[in-house]
């Protein structure tokens, strides 16, 4: 019997790529999304890539009246819970919206799982929980720091809600995946990131600048204590990241979890600076990115990258794509969307 996975936030950037990889790995998938920050075109892209029907339910998963019927209609073996607000800057101005939405989403999903006897959940966490770590790269044992933003705090709090729930409810298993910086797009260029308005994140800003939609990229700071003075991050291809979810689901439904609650870093283990990323993008794609160095962005940390050895050995998963390949994919997606070439 095929296993079925409910993907909340499955019309979003990481959710849609994960739906594809799940289907290609032999799972059935149900997508639930309220489309508040996602487009149906992503679900259609998933259907086109996989040739699968992929049931979609438009639902706010923080509302039991909308979520529970999905569990009734589509019995599932596991949930991957992506649905959440994710804009760091916005969270500073609207903390209550972020706390209410992100916490009640996870709580409602866990309540539904209890009600319908679903025992496996993967939660989208973030390397933001490490803050500026004292020792790099960060391992899963690196202490979490005080969150820099309400958004970051919701990731910490949701990890704790999951940990405590797993402790209290026998049979329940959870895996928190701490993502580093997801970038790139599916090689088909049928799905990718769809930022609304001016992008906050580096790579969409780079691709939109190269496409002429933005005049100039601001590089936030060249006076950090790093080799070229710009910040270091661990940029992971979204397809590699999606495959880490497949590995996590396989571990849980295959009964290979070593503990009811587990945490894995999902990165490449390679630090890349902002300037290195921009120059690599230019080189790989043969385009110029107009940029200027400006002051530091408030709340940015200097450097973070993953020690991935635990995920590599325990999940049997490893990021495979090179930065070059990933940045070529990011540009391909932007061109495809804009009808360039």
> Exactly one of 74, 169, 220, 310 binds ligand UD1 (CB under 6 A); which one?
220
In angstroms, what is the minimal distance from the CB of 323 to ligand UD1?
14
181 binds ligand UD1 (CB under 6 A): yes
The backbone torsions φ and ψ at residue 263, rounded to the nearest 5 degrees and listed phi first, read: -130, 135
Q: For residues 36 and 56, what is the distance between their CA atoms, to the nearest angstrom? A: 15
DSSP string spanning 21-80? Answer: HHHHTT-EEEEEE--SS--HHHHHHHHHHH-----EEE--TTSHHHHHHHHHHS--SEEE
Of 91-99, 250-258, 292-300, 320-328, the segment contacting ligand UD1 by CB under 6 A is 292-300
Q: How many CA atoms lie within 13 A of 219 on its CB side?
A: 21
Q: Are 275 and 305 in contact (CB under 8 A)?
A: no
User: CB under 8 Å to 56, separation ≥6 — which residues?
Assistant: 10, 11, 30, 31, 32, 33, 40, 43
Q: What track of x and - describes contact with ligand UD1 for positions 226 through 245 (by CB under 6 A)?
A: -----x-x------------
| Token representation of residue 54 | 């992929």
266 binds ligand UD1 (CB under 6 A): no
> Exactly one of 24, 44, 90, 300 binds ligand UD1 (CB under 6 A); which one?
300
In angstroms, what is the minimal distance from the CB of 3 to ligand UD1?
29
Q: Residue 101, SS3?
A: helix
201 binds ligand UD1 (CB under 6 A): yes
Q: Residue 169, SS3?
A: coil
Of 30-38, 59-67, 68-76, 200-208, the segment contacting ligand UD1 by CB under 6 A is 200-208
In angstroms, what is the minimal distance from the CB of 231 to ligand UD1?
3
> Exactly one of 19, 88, 248, 266 binds ligand UD1 (CB under 6 A); which one?
88
In angstroms, what is the minimal distance from the CB of 198 to ligand UD1?
9
Of 49-57, 102-110, 211-219, 260-268, the segment contacting ligand UD1 by CB under 6 A is 211-219
Q: What is the distance between the terminal CA atoms of the chain, rounded to a whole angstrom?
A: 45
Q: For residues 300 and 178, what is the distance between their CA atoms, to the nearest angstrom? A: 18
Interacting positions 91-110 with ligand UD1 (CB under 6 A): none
297 binds ligand UD1 (CB under 6 A): yes
Q: For residues 204 and 8, what is the distance between their CA atoms, to the nearest angstrom? A: 23
For residues 30 and 274, which CB has a smaller minimum distance to ligand UD1 in the complex?
Answer: 274
For residues 230 and 332, which CB has a smaller minimum distance to ligand UD1 in the complex?
Answer: 230
* Strand residue runs (E) in the chain: 4-8, 28-33, 56-58, 78-81, 120-126, 173-179, 181-183, 217-220, 232-233, 235-237, 261-266, 272-273, 291-294
Of 71-79, 197-205, 257-265, 327-335, the segment contacting ligand UD1 by CB under 6 A is 197-205
Alpha carbon 211 to its chain's center: 24
Active site residue 151: yes
> Exactly one of 19, 59, 61, 274 binds ligand UD1 (CB under 6 A); which one?
274
In angstroms, what is the minimal distance from the CB of 173 to ligand UD1?
24
Q: Residue 325, SS3?
A: helix
# residues contacting ligand UD1 (CB under 6 A):
20
The catalytic position among 13, 27, 151, 291 is: 151
> Exactly one of 71, 123, 205, 261 binds ligand UD1 (CB under 6 A); which one?
205
Site for ligand UD1, rule CB under 6 A: 86, 88, 126, 128, 152, 181, 200-202, 205, 217-220, 231, 233, 274, 297, 299-300
Active site (catalytic) residues: 151
């Amino acid at each position: 019997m095929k296993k079925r996975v409910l993907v909340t936030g499955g019309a979003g950037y990481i959710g849609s790529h994960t739906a594809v990889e799940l289907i290609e790995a032999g799972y059935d998938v149900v997508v639930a999304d309220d489309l508040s920050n996602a487009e149906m075109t992503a679900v259609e892209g998933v259907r086109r890539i996989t040739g699968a029907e992929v049931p979609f339910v438009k639902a706010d998963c923080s509302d039991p009246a909308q979520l529970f019927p999905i569990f009734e209609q589509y019995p599932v073996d596991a949930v991957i819970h992506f649905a959440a607000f994710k804009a760091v800057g916005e969270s500073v101005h609207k903390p209550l919206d972020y706390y209410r939405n992100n916490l009640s989403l996870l709580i409602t999903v866990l309540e539904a799982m209890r009600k319908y006897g679903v025992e496996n959940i993967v939660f989208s966490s973030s390397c933001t929980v490490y803050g500026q770590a004292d020792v790099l790269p960060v391992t899963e044992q690196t202490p979490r720091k005080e969150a820099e933003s309400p958004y970051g705090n919701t990731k910490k709090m949701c990890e704790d809600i999951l940990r405590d729930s797993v402790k209290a409810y026998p049979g329940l298993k959870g895996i928190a995946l701490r993502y580093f910086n997801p970038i790139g797009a599916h090689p088909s260029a049928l799905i990718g990131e769809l930022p609304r308005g001016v992008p906050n994140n580096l790579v969409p800003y780079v691709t939109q600048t190269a496409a002429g939609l933005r005049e100039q990229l601001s590089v936030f700071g060249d006076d950090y204590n790093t080799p070229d003075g710009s910040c270091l991050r661990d940029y992971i291809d979204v397809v590699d990241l999606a495959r880490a979810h497949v590995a996590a689901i396989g571990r849980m439904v295959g009964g290979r979890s070593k503990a009811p609650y587990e945490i894995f870093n999902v990165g490449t283990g390679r630090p890349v600076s902002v300037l290195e990323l921009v120059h690599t993008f230019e080189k790989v794609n043969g385009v110029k990115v107009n940029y200027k160095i400006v002051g530091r962005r408030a709340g940015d940390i200097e450097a973070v990258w993953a020690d991935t050895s635990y995920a590599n050995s325990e999940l049997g998963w490893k990021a495979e794509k090179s930065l070059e390949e990933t940045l070529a994919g990011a540009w391909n997606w932007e061109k495809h969307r804009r009808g360039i070439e």
